[in-house]
Structure 1
Amino acid sequence: MTTITLTKDSHKHPENYRIKLQDSTGVLGEDPKALKKIDNKLPTIKTSSNVAVIGAGFGGMATAIKTMKELKENDVRIFERHDNFGGTWYANTYPGCASDIPAVWYSFSFALTSNWTRVQPPQYEMEEYILRVAKEYKLKEKIRFNTSVDECLFDEDTGYWTLYAHDKNTGQKLEHKAKILVSCTGVLVHPMHLKEPGLENFKGKYIHSALWDHSVDFKGKNVVVFGNGCSANQVVPALLKDYQPASLTQIVRSKHYVMPPVPKILVMIYGLLRYTFFGLQLVRWFTVAVAESRFPLFRGEGPISRLVRWANRRMSVNYMKKAPKKYWDMLIPDYKVGCKRLIFDYGYIPALHDPRLKLTNERVDKVVADGIYLKDGSFIKADIIVACTGYDVPKSFTLPVKTSKGASLKTIWDEEGVGAYRTSLVKNIPNYFIVGGPNIGTGHASVVMSIEHGVDYYMKIAKPILQGKEKSVVVKPEAYDSWFKLIQSKLRESVFGTAFGGCTSWYADQKINFTVYPFSQIHFWYITHFPNYRDLVYNHYDKKNV
């Protein structure tokens, strides 16, 4: 166990802890040129490892670290499209970007931090923490940056994966063989761009929150922000406070429950107990306990669920009524609390009193060269348009994974819906694990904790393969199908973007919900630490099934 002490250099030089715009656009833009640049004239690089990990955010780092520490398997290779660790915390750098979950919980359990500057630290501080952990565990020795994985093929005769990739800077191709493939590519990755008529005619600056251009000068400009979800909740007060716009109009597209800031008692407890690793663990588990007590609001109509839902709605509405009264009707939801992701505030509601700010929920008629016409005929002058319009979540689940006998991850998910047994395994695709994949999200908990549970599950299942005792492992089709039906059935009874919840949400599409876990985190811990081996098939090197 390690206690991380931050230098706070990220506060002095935040620009050193964020991706360059040209690099993020090359990978995540509408036309990602870096992912298409392949030079067939250069010799193909051929490498191998026992474990191949795709992605170097929290998921990829946890997978590599725990594989080396707990499985004593050091032959690990990580592949990352960007040029540094961090995933979303490296790529998302918009003003105000911060962790909404307390960082003592939104961090690795084996690398707790004694000197966070805030309960919910800013992006650059989160990235500093991530880089500090990467250095502590010498992950640079295990990673290949600037590498786009184009296809992954499992040979069912040899029991090995081949990753076909290329260097996004030089175009040089790479072939990498591995026994185990772990995908840690994340979900909130690809920006969902604004789609309004006439946007192509706009002569000002257009920015998506996930592809922030820090060279843009907001001083004295008329700014329009689309959206009022988690990103907008952070962007709006940060722009008003630090960027000196002449005006800011926020176009509210839907309603969200905004919860009060994290209670000061957590700050006090952290201040008292942060000097030892054991003390930090106590603060962490206190945070877990408080958050887990909120879980009943997401499920059913039992007396406890209704009580917890009522208490949380009342807490949110009372807080939101600190906004100007003229905005109440367009901000305060009438659906069940939890149907959309809860927003934990530390600046948005107070910012609504700023005289430079105006909210409207009027629909857009058209965008023109110098602004926006609304359906009611009014005109909003705009020099800069900021799109806080979220992410294309389904695009994150289009992974190029296949087997030599014709199984295809894309085909399975296109035909049956996105899913994974215990959030990790997919039928007909051996030796393949997903960390931070389908249905791992929650409406109340830290995804980093969920990621660690997923890594623990992968290690238990993959251990016989890495020890050379078994050739491959795969989940039985009937177990996969049964799990998928159970998850979707329970989610239909929940509030997560359902008719029962009373709203539509990015949690789910019209067919299924592939983002949220319908049970408590205690339940998730249990199923990831006590595998049901009867649901799995291990294949010997002599090809006999057991």
Structure 2
Amino acid sequence: MPVITLTKESHTHPEKFQIKYEDAVKILGPDRKDRFVYNESLPTLTTSSTVSIVGAGFGGMATAIKTIEDLHEEDVVIFERHDNFGGTWYANHFPNSASDIPSLWYSYSFSPVSNWSRVQPPQYEMEEYLLRVAETYKLREKARFQTEINKVEWIDEDNVWKLHARNVVTGQKCIHTSKILVACQGGLVHPSQLKAEGLENFKGEYMHSAIWNDDVDFKGKKVIVVGNGCTANQVVPGLLNNPKYGVKSLTQIVRSKHYVSPPVPKALFYLYKLLSFNFFGLIFVRWLVIAIGESRFPLFKGVGLINRFVRWVNTRVAVNYMKKKAPKKFHDLIIPDYKIGCKRLIFDHDYIPTLNDPRIDLKDSPIDKVVENGILLKSGELIEADIIVACTGYNVTQSFFNYEIIGRNKTSITKLWKEDGPSAYRTLLVKECPNMWMIAGPNSATGHASVVMAIENGVDYYTKTAKPIIQNKAASVRVKNEAYDNWFTIIQAELKRCVFGTPFGGCISWYANEKVNATAYPWSQSNYWWVTHHPNYKDLEYDTKSIKKD
């Protein structure tokens, strides 16, 4: 298992590790072209592989690596609509963007780093890491970039998946078939644009934090930032503290309150540097971080003594930090009254101390409309602006509808999910979809843990259950309908006992909508490890009758 040593080129040339603005707009922008319009003057490209992987971020890369290393299957194709590896870490590069989970945990267990620059490294350093991993495992030869999947359908008579794809540059259509399909498209994909009347009349610059335009000059400008979640926690101090931007003033429209915990203790980084000399030292520090993270899980559910104690401790730590570091005039605007964990937990990125900057002001009045020179609030106050930055998050649910899914017997999974809500058995297997796995799929996210660890756990489940298919001992495997339905019922009932955007939690959150919570996992990451490493094969149906002999 290789230890990665970064060159830190990303610190001197961060632009090499970030998507170009025009490419981001083409793929992620609100006015993107219809992805179903093909260039009919070009011939349809027809290809095939044993394994198809959708997405080249953490999930897609881990799936490819484990397919090659553990399943000894080299016939792999990774489809990615951007022009490089990295997913979210390539596409997002707003000021001060960084990992909110310590990188010692937010990285692959099989490829730790010996020289992170800090506990929560900046975006460009994280992207450099991912590119080094891709280079180490020779993934570039497996990747088909700038190719977007529009539809996948299971062909019953052939026991294969048929993928309909489009080259985002040329419009050329591609038909690809594979025995196995692994969906790794991630959740932070579709920016939720600011929905405000009159935005089209604004004469200044408008941008969403997920599609950052580096050509916009912020110096001496009046800026409005809409939102105050995890992204704003990084963007606001980035704009105010970095001389590169030099804003004249910044007004933040606080749409809801968030618990902001103190930054990760510096002692963790010192321990990391002390033990970073070999693989085992790095793994020890990683497991220490995991143990600390898992100790916070009880705050997310239940009213038992331990649950209430852990919730009380974490609440007091966050509130005391916010009161101590933020000016008193803002306390009522930023300190929540709901249960901690109802919204995503935030480790501070210098946001709370930055509230003492005389150039910043907070407003909690809702937006009435956008006018030519700023934003008019419901209170009647006009906030003038040269630039509006929307830190309004992502439509996480929409990521499950990136492409149409047609399963066994022509079953429309897209229709099923629209009616009942997105779901996947053990977060991985979809009803009526043989030989398809979802990595970081529905209900795989936790409020306290690293998504990369969850990804690795999911990939381990995939390798265990897909092995008979790779070895040609079975033509297909699928989750039984009753197992899928039972999982859906159990997990949604359990989520109602959690704080994730529920009446119990006391807040409205992107974790859930009016139908279901398709985002959060209601148990600990230790539990997730158990269910992914111990498949219940009674819930699975392997087809051994349709095997095609070589």
Give the TM-score range, shorter chain: over 0.9
TM-score normalised by L of structure 1? 0.98
Q: Please name the residue that 1:448 is paired with.
A: 452
Give deviations 1:283-340, integer Å, cap 9, x for gaps.
Answer: 0000000000000000100000000000000000000112000000010000000000
Give deviations 1:167-207, integer Å, cap 9, x for gaps.
Answer: 11111111111000000000111000001122111000001
Give deviations 1:72-130, integer Å, cap 9, x for gaps.
Answer: 11111100000000000000111011000000110001000010001000000000000
Q: How is 1:109-124 mapped onto 2 (pairs within 5 angstroms)? A: 109-124=109-124
Q: Please name the residue that 1:259 is paired with.
A: 261
TM-score normalised by L of structure 2? 0.98
**Equivalent-residue separation in structure 2 for 1:29 and 1:236 (angstroms):** 22
Once the 2 structures are TM-superposed, how far is the Cα of residue 40 of structure 1 from its aligned partner?
Answer: 1.6
Q: Please name the residue that 2:90 is paired with.
A: 90
> Is the Cα contact below 8 Å between 2:474 and 2:547 reproduced in 1?
no
Q: Please name the residue that 2:488 is paired with.
A: 484
Residue 515 in structure 1 maps to residue 519 in structure 2 = yes
> Is the Cα contact below 8 Å between 2:161 and 2:181 reproduced in 1?
yes
Q: Please name the residue that 2:229 is paired with.
A: 229
Q: Which runs of 4+ in 1 moved over 3 A?
A: 541-544
Q: Please name the residue that 1:78 is paired with.
A: 78
SS at match of 1:115: coil
SS at match of 1:60: helix
The change in CA–CA distance for 1:319 and 1:469 in structure 2 (over 3 A counts) is same
Give deviations 1:137-191, integer Å, cap 9, x for gaps.
Answer: 0000101000011111111121111111121111111111100000000011100
**Equivalent-residue separation in structure 2 for 1:61 and 1:222 (angstroms):** 41
**Equivalent-residue separation in structure 2 for 1:173 and 1:363 (angstroms):** 45
Once the 2 structures are TM-superposed, how far is the Cα of residue 368 of structure 1 from its aligned partner?
Answer: 1.0
Q: Please name the residue that 2:282 is paired with.
A: 280
**Equivalent-residue separation in structure 2 for 1:175 and 1:429 (angstroms):** 19
SS at match of 2:409: coil
**Equivalent-residue separation in structure 2 for 1:541 and 1:302 (angstroms):** 51
> Is the Cα contact below 8 Å between 2:226 and 2:255 reproduced in 1?
yes
Q: Please name the residue that 1:392 is paired with.
A: 395
> Is the Cα contact below 8 Å between 2:311 and 2:340 reproduced in 1?
yes
Q: Please name the residue that 1:373 is paired with.
A: 376
Range with greater deviation from structure 2 (8-17 or 401-410): 401-410
Aligned partner (choices 326, 350, 358) of residue 323 of structure 1: 326
Once the 2 structures are TM-superposed, how far is the Cα of residue 42 of structure 1 from its aligned partner?
Answer: 1.3
SS at match of 1:3: coil
Q: How is 1:39-188 mapped onto 2 (pairs within 5 angstroms)? A: 39-188=39-188
SS at match of 1:4: coil
Aligned pair count reads 544
**Equivalent-residue separation in structure 1 for 2:268 and 2:441 (angstroms):** 30
Residue 353 in structure 1 maps to residue 353 in structure 2 = no
SS at match of 1:112: coil
Give deviations 1:423-476, integer Å, cap 9, x for gaps.
Answer: 000111111110011001010000000000000001111110111010111100
SS at match of 2:39: coil
Once the 2 structures are TM-superposed, how far is the Cα of residue 34 of structure 1 from its aligned partner?
Answer: 7.0
Q: How is 1:407-418 mapped onto 2 (pairs within 5 angstroms)? A: 407-418=411-422
**Equivalent-residue separation in structure 2 for 1:476 and 1:394 (angstroms):** 24
Give deviations 1:362-403, integer Å, cap 9, x for gaps.
Answer: 122221111122222222110000000011112101131113
Alignment-mate amino acid for residue 429 of structure 2: L
> Is the Cα contact below 8 Å between 1:273 and 1:283 reproduced in 2?
yes
Once the 2 structures are TM-superposed, how far is the Cα of residue 353 of structure 1 from its aligned partner?
Answer: 0.4
Aligned partner (choices 267, 270, 274) of residue 268 of structure 1: 270
**Equivalent-residue separation in structure 2 for 1:376 and 1:434 (angstroms):** 46
**Equivalent-residue separation in structure 2 for 1:428 and 1:376 (angstroms):** 52
> Is the Cα contact below 8 Å between 2:46 and 2:176 reproduced in 1?
yes
Residue 465 in structure 1 maps to residue 462 in structure 2 = no
The change in CA–CA distance for 1:310 and 1:37 in structure 2 (over 3 A counts) is same
SS at match of 2:30: coil
Range with greater deviation from structure 2 (151-160 or 396-405): 396-405
Aligned partner (choices 437, 440, 444) of residue 436 of structure 1: 440
- Structure 2 regions of 5+ residues with no counterpart? none
**Equivalent-residue separation in structure 2 for 1:353 and 1:232 (angstroms):** 16
> Is the Cα contact below 8 Å between 1:34 and 1:168 reproduced in 2?
no
**Equivalent-residue separation in structure 2 for 1:32 and 1:409 (angstroms):** 25
Give deviations 1:248-286, integer Å, cap 9, x for gaps.
Answer: 000000000001000122112101101101000000000
**Equivalent-residue separation in structure 2 for 1:34 and 1:143 (angstroms):** 23
The change in CA–CA distance for 1:397 and 1:542 in structure 2 (over 3 A counts) is closer
**Equivalent-residue separation in structure 1 for 2:420 and 2:367 (angstroms):** 36
Q: Please name the residue that 1:335 is paired with.
A: 338
**Equivalent-residue separation in structure 2 for 1:375 and 1:475 (angstroms):** 51
**Equivalent-residue separation in structure 2 for 1:427 and 1:153 (angstroms):** 13
Range with greater deviation from structure 2 (168-177 or 292-301): 168-177
**Equivalent-residue separation in structure 2 for 1:165 and 1:101 (angstroms):** 34
> Is the Cα contact below 8 Å between 1:92 and 1:211 reproduced in 2?
yes
> Is the Cα contact below 8 Å between 1:37 and 1:168 reproduced in 2?
no
The change in CA–CA distance for 1:540 and 1:226 in structure 2 (over 3 A counts) is same
SS at match of 2:3: strand
Aligned partner (choices 528, 531, 535) of residue 535 of structure 2: 531
Alignment-mate amino acid for residue 2 of structure 1: P
Structural RMSD (CA) = 1.2
Identity rate, percent: 60
Alignment-mate amino acid for residue 342 of structure 2: C
Range with greater deviation from structure 2 (277-286 or 374-383): 374-383
Once the 2 structures are TM-superposed, how far is the Cα of residue 212 of structure 1 from its aligned partner?
Answer: 0.4
> Is the Cα contact below 8 Å between 1:34 and 1:169 reproduced in 2?
no
> Is the Cα contact below 8 Å between 2:408 and 2:433 reproduced in 1?
no
**Equivalent-residue separation in structure 2 for 1:124 and 1:136 (angstroms):** 18
Once the 2 structures are TM-superposed, how far is the Cα of residue 31 of structure 1 from its aligned partner?
Answer: 2.2
